[in-house]
């Protein structure tokens, strides 16, 4: 009896399944949308890195003479022009040396003039003696004596010339040292650091002030060693300044081909296009294009978010529309890269998304 019941139920189930296969599913009709076929697109390959914005010209100013600082004309944040006085150093000792060197130079000038006159006199005397000697009016000994005096006068004149040159050099040297007591800015820019106070002793080689030219900046970043042969000076770079929430364009201006053995990276410098808000020390991210590759791109508006998932509406050969999950990647100027979920030749809806119904059928009017 039980076996009979099971056979009857199976028969009814088979009939039901056969009948249901003949049912024509009524799909919603979709019109007024735009469909595009997926084809690979050539895109730039980017390397992501980050670094610190720096002024292109930063001048650390130190004294070239030792002495006590007697005045400071600037403070941090002041704007200065090239050649503007920044600070002074006690110059009393050097002033005395300048005066002594100047007096010595004048004395040597007088000595040279005396040697010149003596040389001229002996040259005239020598010519007279030679005429007398040729006329047999002078002895050979007398001629030798005047000839010797002439040679000595020539030597004394040369010595006086050399002494004057040395005195001139000494005078110029102490004048230069005097100029070093008035420290001036080598560039136009902003004073960003002051490490000295009035009364402190300035020591040669120890930075006293720092001035940076804020008219041009660059980004210094470390790049993976694998890109050493792929990057070239002049290549463009896109830079994002976090603190300013601003994008800045730039170009690679310098590549330092020395690999850090610890990080396996090397330094590059990117000149940034003029931007008034840039400052030394700002953190920035850089995207550097170093090649091309093929990628599947879809318009950003074609991606539909459902919950936390991304997907697109695909259209098959029969016009049936289905929502397909995708994994989105990097955004490019031509759209968003699809890492998985689509392949070449697939058709997706790129316009009129609001009219799409999942499971509907597309009809081109």
CATH 2.40.30.170 fits 49-56+216-292, yes or no: yes
Rounded CA gap, 26 and 357, in Å?
A: 13
Per CATH, the number for 26-43+296-362 is 2.40.420.20
Q: Looking at residue 4, what is its pLDDT? A: 41
Instruction: Provide the pairing of β-strand 361-362 with 29-30.
Output: parallel
- Show pLDDT as tens, one digit a residue, over the chain (365 residues): 444 444 334 444 444 444 444 455 688 888 888 999 999 999 888 899 999 999 999 999 999 999 999 999 999 999 999 999 999 999 999 999 999 999 999 999 999 999 999 989 989 988 888 888 888 887 888 888 888 988 999 999 999 999 999 999 999 999 999 999 999 999 999 999 999 999 999 999 899 999 999 889 999 999 999 999 999 999 999 999 989 999 999 999 999 999 999 999 999 999 998 777 899 999 999 999 888 889 999 999 999 999 889 999 999 988 899 999 999 988 888 899 999 999 999 999 999 888 888 888 887 76
> Full-prediction pTM beyond 0.85?
no
Q: Give me the phi and psi of 113, to 5 degrees please.
A: -65, -40
| CB atoms near residue 105 (< 10 Å) | 17
**Per-residue pLDDT, 23:** 52
Residue 24's pLDDT is what?
A: 58
Locate the domains of the chain by residue range: 26-43+296-362, 49-56+216-292, 91-180
How long, in residues, is the chain?
Answer: 365
pLDDT at position 365 is 60
For Cα atoms 55, 287, 348, give the angle at the middle one, nearest 5 degrees.
Answer: 155
Measured between alpha carbons, how far is 217 from 272 in angstroms, rounded to an integer?
A: 6
Could you give the CA distance from residue 69 to residue 72 in angstroms, rounded to a whole number? Answer: 8
């Amino acid at each position: 009896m039980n076996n009979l019941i099971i056979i009857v139920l199976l028969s009814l189930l088979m009939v039901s399944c056969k009948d249901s296969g003949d049912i024509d599913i009524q799909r919603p009709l979709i019109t007024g949308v735009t469909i595009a076929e997926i084809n690979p697109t050539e895109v730039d390959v980017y390397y992501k890195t980050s670094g610190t914005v720096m002024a292109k010209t930063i001048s650390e100013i130190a004294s070239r003479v030792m002495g006590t600082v007697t005045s400071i004309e600037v403070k941090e944040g002041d704007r200065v022009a090239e050649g503007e006085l920044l600070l002074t150093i006690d110059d009393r000792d050097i002033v005395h040396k300048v005066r002594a060197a100047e007096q010595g130079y004048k004395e040597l000038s007088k000595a040279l003039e005396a040697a010149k006159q003596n040389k001229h006199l002996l040259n005239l005397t020598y010519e007279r003696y030679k005429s007398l000697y040729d006329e047999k009016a002078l002895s050979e000994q007398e001629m030798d004596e005047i000839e010797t005096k002439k040679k000595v006068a020539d030597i004394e004149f040369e010595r006086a010339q050399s002494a004057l040159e040395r005195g001139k050099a000494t005078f110029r040297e102490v004048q230069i040292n005097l100029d070093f007591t008035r420290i001036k800015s080598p560039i136009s820019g902003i004073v960003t650091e002051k490490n000295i106070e009035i009364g402190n002793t300035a020591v040669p080689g120890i930075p006293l002030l720092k001035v940076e030219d804020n008219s041009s900046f660059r980004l210094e970043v470390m790049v993976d060693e694998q890109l050493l042969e792929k990057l070239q000076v002049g290549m463009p770079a896109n830079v994002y300044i976090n603190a300013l929430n601003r994008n800045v364009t730039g170009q690679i201006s310098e590549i330092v081909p020395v690999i850090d053995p610890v990080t396996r990276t090397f330094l590059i410098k990117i000149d940034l296009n003029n931007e008034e808000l840039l400052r030394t020390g700002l953190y920035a991210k850089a995207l550097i294009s170093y090649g091309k590759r093929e990628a599947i791109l879809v318009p950003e508006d074609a991606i539909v978010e459902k919950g936390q998932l991304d997907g697109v509406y695909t259209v098959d050969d029969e016009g049936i529309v289905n929502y397909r999950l995708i994994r989105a990647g990097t955004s490019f100027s031509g759209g968003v890269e699809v890492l998985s979920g689509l392949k070449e030749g697939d058709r997706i809806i790129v316009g009129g998304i609001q009219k799409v119904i999942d499971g509907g059928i597309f009809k081109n009017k």
